[in-house]
Amino acid sequence: MTADGAASGISASQRYLTLATVVLGSSLYGTALLTTSTVLPQMQGAMSATQDEIAWAMTFNILATAVVTPMTGWLVARFGSKRVMVCSIACFTLATLLCGMAQSLEMLVLWRVVQGGTGAPVVPLSQSILLDTFPRRQHTMVLSIFGMAVAVAPVFGPVVGGHLAEIYSWRWSFYMLVPVGFLSVIGMQLTLASDRQVTKARFDWTGFLALATALAAVQLVLARGVRLDWFSSPEIVIECLVAALAFYIFVVHCLTTTAPFLNPKLLTDRNYAIGLALVTIYGMLNFTPMVLLPPLLQQHVGFSDALVGQVIGSRGVGMTIGFMTAGFMSRIDPRISMAFGFSLQTVAGLWMLTFDLNVTMDVLVLNSAIQGFAVGVVWVPMTMVAFATLAPQDRAEASSVFHLLRNIGSSFFISLSIAEIVRTSGANYSRMTEMITPYNTTLAMPGLTGAWTFDTVPGLAKVANEIARQSAMIGYLNAFMMYTVTSALAVGFALMVRRPRAARAA
């Protein structure tokens, strides 16, 4: 290793080719994350599945990703970075092709599990490879490009996949990723540096199985709690008990064994510990609006797929500008950059609290662009602060935990937001329908009787539809409030970190 931390013997051209192929692989994985959500209605009809059944195509993929992500450190130690990266992208590409060819719901869910599990090491390992390949003085630039790929690709994936699904079928949202994966595998095989001598690393199966069980149980609780009425269901109670017991076993085992699955000593680094809290909140804030806004705009506001695509695309434009800006802001205190970015997200959340069912396109586009810009500004300083004081040999394991919490934060917060929307919508619908009676004099006003009639079945159906729209909007506003409060909390965490130079000196 040279003094600046870059691997000796690697030419500048090989570094940038490595950057290109690694970013391509990371983009492939990121694009697949949310593309499936765009075509769920088509998949539901093609598979003759209920809404609850087709949701497993998303839930099991998230579970597989969350479970396998912490294995990245062990896989690298046992097989080497290049072998793990190439095999992961190759298997991910094959699983993506098989997802598009699936003829039944069971096969679709199976290949989605394989897709999530084989693609899980890609993002954390990509970051570790880039940090080891480039000198420290270029880390800001490299992380800006890498972060742009990870964050922007999931924005454009649903837009392109939605158009292909509309023109051809839902299968093409998977098929479009296969050529990219094929090129990525070839590029990585040719450009990645050869693995150094690997060791027969010991794998902590007890810690792995305990953590996997806890994560799977918690995700199942959040995904099925609303449908099963939470703790009124024996299934939810059992899953909560299993999650608590498994997490207890994991914590006790990590603190008592000599070689734990995840090294708790990493948490003694103050910046890394706070960085984990920040990246969890970052995961909560990053993908949640992209999941909540499309159904709101399509089902209740009446936007077309093309207009929704423009709203989501404006977020990608904001992210691109944010990542470019982060390079210039790297010269100032990273705490200021992170606080600025999370404050922008708080402002965007407060703005979303003013939305109603008459919201205009320009407001949505500008708000989405601000959110994207804030995400881009936050990523680079947050990553730099979290990894600045860690030893190079700890980066693979630390990066796997870092991205594990980002994924868990996304899936958990999306589930909580959807649960709040469903709960609030039902409660407000029940309350507002109580006011539709012949004795309510307000309903006799000319402006209302011109829009709806209350003495016919079709007229009452129109009233019921409007009440459903308004009650759903209240639920979305509650979810936006959760987004805003979480953004504000992140500002406080951002101000608690040390500057990288001061932390390294300490």
Residues 364-419: tens digit of each pLDDT: 999 999 998 998 889 888 888 888 888 777 776 787 788 778 878 887 888 788 88
**Amino acid residing at 57:** A
Q: What is the mean pLDDT of residues 112-140?
A: 84
317 — pLDDT class (breaks 50, 70, 90): confident
- What does the radius of gyration of the chain's CA atoms come to, in whole angstroms? 24
8 — pLDDT class (breaks 50, 70, 90): very low
CB-CB neighbours of 48 under 10 Å: 10
Residue 242 has a pLDDT of 94
Q: What is the mean pLDDT of residues 100-129?
A: 88
7 — pLDDT class (breaks 50, 70, 90): very low
Residue 61 burial (10 A CB sphere; 0-12, 13-18, 19+): buried
151 — pLDDT class (breaks 50, 70, 90): low
- pTM assigned to the model: 0.78
Answer yes or no: same fold for 1-191 and 262-434+448-506: yes
Cα(244)–Cα(246) distance, integer angstroms: 6
51 — pLDDT class (breaks 50, 70, 90): low
Note the pLDDT tens digit of each residue in 442-477: 777 766 666 677 777 787 888 888 889 999 999 999
Q: Which residue has the tokens 């977020």?
A: 315
- Rounded to the nearest integer, the mean pLDDT of the chain is 82
Name the superfamily (CATH) of residues 262-434+448-506.
MFS general substrate transporter like domains (1.20.1250.20)
- Lowest average pLDDT, out of 158-162, 207-211, 215-219, goes to 158-162
Cα(486)–Cα(289) distance, integer angstroms: 13
327: left (phi over 0), alpha (psi -120 to 50) or beta: alpha
Q: What is the mean pLDDT of residues 140-164?
A: 73
Contact by Cβ (8 Å): 83, 61? no
Cα(248)–Cα(232) distance, integer angstroms: 24
500 — pLDDT class (breaks 50, 70, 90): low
The residues, any chain, with a CB within 8 Å of residue 169's CB and separated by 6 or more, are 42, 46
Name the superfamily (CATH) of residues 1-191.
MFS general substrate transporter like domains (1.20.1250.20)
Q: Where are the domains of the chain?
A: 1-191, 204-260, 262-434+448-506
